[in-house]
Structures are given as C-alpha cells and as structure tokens.
Amino acid sequence: MAENVRTGRCVVAVDGPSGSGKSTVSRRLAVGIDARYLDTGAMYRAVTWAVLRSGVDPADAEAVAKVAGEIDLRIGTDPQGYGVTVDGVTVDADIRGPEVTGAVSAVAAVPAVRTLLVSRQRDMIDNAGRMVVEGRDIGSVVAPDAELKVYLTASEAARAQRRSAQDAADVTATAADLARRDRLDSTRKTDPLQQSADAVVLDTTELGIDEVVARLRELLVERGVA
C-alpha cells in the first residue's frame, strides 16, 4: 500500500505572489514526498534573459515570441539542485539579476510565450507523475486537475522583508518592485496571477517554512496522495 501511494500520481500546484515562500516550500515539500520539482518562473526568466541577450525590446511581443521559439531552454526537476540552461549556457544566477527581474513580467505577458511554456510544463508534469509545481497560474491553467492546489500569500511587509533579505536589497525598493510585478501579473490578459476557486489559501506571514510544509503534507494525507 505505501509503495503504491509513494509512486502514484501526485501533482501539487503552488501559486502565489513573490515573497510568499513558494520556492522554498515547494522544494522542501517535493523532497518530503519523493516528487520532482518545477519552478515555472525560472522558465519565464530564462526566456527573458535570452530576449535581453538578443537585444530585443521586451515590449515587442512578436520579436519576444520569436526568441522564445528558437532557444534551447532546459530546466532540471531535482528539488535538491536543479539547473537552467539556454542554448547550453548555465543561467541560474543571471536569471535572478535585477535586469531580468525588471523585464520578466512583460515577457511573461506575451501570449505566444505562455502557450509555448505551458505546453512544455504540462509535458513535464505528465512525464514526472509526482511533481510539485510552483508559479502564478499553475492551479488555474497549467495543472487544473492537480491533486492539491495551494495559494500561498503573506503581508506586503513580510514579502518585501523576505525578498530584500534574499537579494540583499533595500526593503522599500523591494516592496515597490513587488507591488509593480504583482500589478502587472494580476492584470495581464493571458493567464493572470489568480487564486483558483478550489485552492487552499495559506497565509505564511506568521508561519515558518517547516510549519507550512507540514500543513501541506497534512492536506495531501487527507486526500490520500501523500
């Protein structure tokens, strides 16, 4: 029985704004339930890096779509150490830089880019069977049939504090940037950031990572898929 549960399908969709704890929680949860892990945001960042490298204006949807369709983008799914490459170049650090962060919302809003990456994400989920997937449209678009959908959130102050500590950046500037990205991502026409109607909402403002992961594992047990 335990073996059947461990190897059976289990897709966890983790959505929410930046700084809510999605990445750390998702990786730890994946390790705990013997699942793969997919950071969909890293895929959009990788395309953005390629767009900027090509000298293309992120606001030029047609040119952005062309770049996205031509690059060889690869991303690992090991929760304890995954890598991202574009045309054979490792971009793990570069895609987290301020230039990419400032342009990723514009690139991610291009319908052709979303269509391309969502298709790849769905294929990866199907091939993995057991996977924790994090992003901003996972439960609503990428994996609407996920066994568990979670929307992680936190106060604006907490999110800004976490992200500024992670990036060694000014808290005020970080808060402004998070607000800008949230506004752009939640108002874009294609696949906006939103909470799925059947998602479990978990406010992480006063919770530690271990507490959040423990709660998600409890939810999976309740559904008989952990």
- pLDDT by position in tens, the chain (length 226): 233 335 578 999 999 987 788 999 999 999 999 999 999 999 999 999 999 999 999 999 999 999 999 999 999 999 998 899 999 999 999 999 999 999 999 999 999 999 999 999 999 999 998 999 999 999 999 999 999 999 999 888 877 777 777 666 777 877 777 777 777 777 767 767 677 889 999 998 888 899 999 999 999 999 888 6
Asked if residue 42 lies in contact with residue 31, where contact means CB atoms within 8 angstroms, the answer is no
Asked if residue 147 lies in contact with residue 9, where contact means CB atoms within 8 angstroms, the answer is yes
Q: What is the pTM (predicted TM-score) of this model?
A: 0.86
Tokens for 196, please give them: 């799925």
Confidence at residue 47, expressed as pLDDT on a 0 to 100 scale: 98
Cα separation values, 60 from 46, 52, 54, 67, 94, Å:
17, 12, 12, 11, 22
In terms of DSSP H, where are the helices of 13-150?
Answer: 22-32, 40-53, 61-70, 98-108, 111-128
Give me the residues paired with residue 149 across strands: 13
